[in-house]
Amino acid sequence: MRGPHNIWRLIRTGATFERTGAMGAVLDAFDAPPFLRMLARTLGKPFKWLGYAGDTTMPPATRALTALGPAYIKFGQILSTRPDVVGGEIAGQLRVLQDKLPPFSIEEAKAAFEHETGLRVDDVFTEFSPPVAAASIAQVHRARLRETGEDVAVKVLRPGIERAFRRDIDAFYFAARMVELVSPASRRLRPTDVIAHFEGVVLGELDLRLESSAASEFAANIGNDVGFQLPSIHWHLSGRRVMTMSWADGAPFGDTMAIDAAGHDRVELAERVLQMFLRHALRDGFFHADMHQGNLKVAANGDIIAFDFGIMGHIDEYTRRVYAEILYGFIKRDYRRVAEVHFEAGYVPRDRDVDEFARALRAVGEPIFGMNASRISMGKLLSYLFEVTERFGMETRTELILLQRTMVVVEGVARSLDPQINIWQAARPVVEDYIRQRIGPKALVRDLAMTAQVAARFGPRLPALVEAALIRQSTPPAPIVRETGHPALWAAGGALVGGLAVAAVAALAFGL
């Protein structure tokens, strides 16, 4: 599938931007240099007639992305949270991509529900509304359960969405391989691996059973988080292409007028949404990775309500510690430590000079700290950091792509509520709390306890392991063990004593 036929798809992409009038707006938004503008115009105009016309009632950029398909719409959703990157006008235009796309018919939605659950819509619901929100992959209907009278949200995948997404991702793979071919320097960025990473994430959205499972796990993690809540899943009314959950009432995050009218403190909300994301990422290693305004509401009591769990991020404990130390180093302006963490984690080749890298990081951090609050940007930090790591041969870390992308999106959401938010000041208490809990004496004791638990699981197997080791290393009919002891027995005994010692230290530390 990933052959030269994708050239046609990419040509039509450029032609669609030209035909819809979006090319100029996009080039202006990204402040493209004159050469790139000339090249885009030269290549775009001859093929303009090949582009999709799109919905002429929409603004140019929105019109182009909706015409091109779901993968492009996802890209537009991300840009809609970044007015500091594309400008306020385009960001506002793209915001309709979050939940205001053209819907499919209610008849198709009802048929999908009945096919997935084996239940008749009229038997389950007393009401089933037309779509109240329509996004790139699915749309949502409000319904009322016949049995309990509870209002629920029924999410249904778009017909044919799986095939459409695979077609777009196929073209992205082709483009990534072409970039690697014509630009060897780009290979360190691993563009094909990046596309593969996002393919896995996006394909997970196309099975709503996985989304239901993710929502359940997320709810278990955040049960004690004050000011943050999730809708509950109705498993018996859900399937691969349908998901039913409790209805979430509240003001949409993208409607600042409604938030103000409800009397909510936007400054406090902006800080809380950023801190919640960091807390979930660092504390749990499992976070909502699609936290744009269309997936967030403010409840009447001021709680943040998150929904749409199709894209969730996961990072292991070690990566969390590395990420936290890097953030903390920048917050404390300890660039030497930030450099050391990069080397310790293997992010930068060991043949590079750590002091030189630290000086380069200082050149990244200091200008940002010199900015006023409205200009401090995680997006800019990542951009500057990218330039530095490129010079030092750092490869793209696919395990951090989703985390970094979501950090930029959440920053955009927070800044839409409070343009003056100081990102570092808001992040600091969460990062410092994680550092105290996970890096230091407490973390050491906890790690020792976990090691003891692992060693204890091998306790019942130790006699068999010792016997097997003795049999392998003994030469009959020589005696297996004399007063001096056998090396295999010493090794097995050492493992046992070591495990017991670790268990004893942990028990003492926890007062057991």
Q: What angle do CA 19, 21, 26 make, to 5 degrees?
A: 120
Look at residues 192, 195, 138 and name the one whose alpha carbon lies nearest to residue 166: 195
Question: Which residue's entry shows tokens 């310790």?
Answer: 344
Spacing of C-alpha 50 from chain mean position = 35
C-alpha 503/C-alpha 494 separation (Å) is 14
Query: What DSSP character marks residue 314?
Result: E
Contact between residue 281 and residue 319 where contact means Cβ atoms under 8 Å apart: no
State how far the Cα of 340 lies from the Cα of 355, in Å rounded to an integer: 9
* CA-to-CA separations, 291 to 176, 405, 462, in angstroms, rounded: 26, 10, 48
Which tokens sit at 486?
């056998």
Q: Which of 115, 108, 175 shows the shortest CA–CA distance to 138?
A: 108
Catalytic residues: 290
How many Å apart are CA 369 and CA 374, to the nearest integer?
Answer: 12
Give the integer Cα–Cα distance in Å for 278 and 328.
12
DSSP-derived secondary structure letter, 333: T
**CA atoms of 30 and 329, how far apart (whole Å):** 30
Give the sign of the dihedral formed by CA 167, CA 169, CA 174, CA 178: positive
Distance in angstroms (rounded) separating the CA atoms of residues 11 and 151? 46
- Burial state string for 321-353 with b = 16 or more CB within 10 A and e = fewer than 16: bbbbbbbbbbbeebbebbbbbbbebebbeeeee
DSSP state of 283: I
Q: Which of 96, 94, 67, 98 is nearest to 82 (CA)?
A: 94
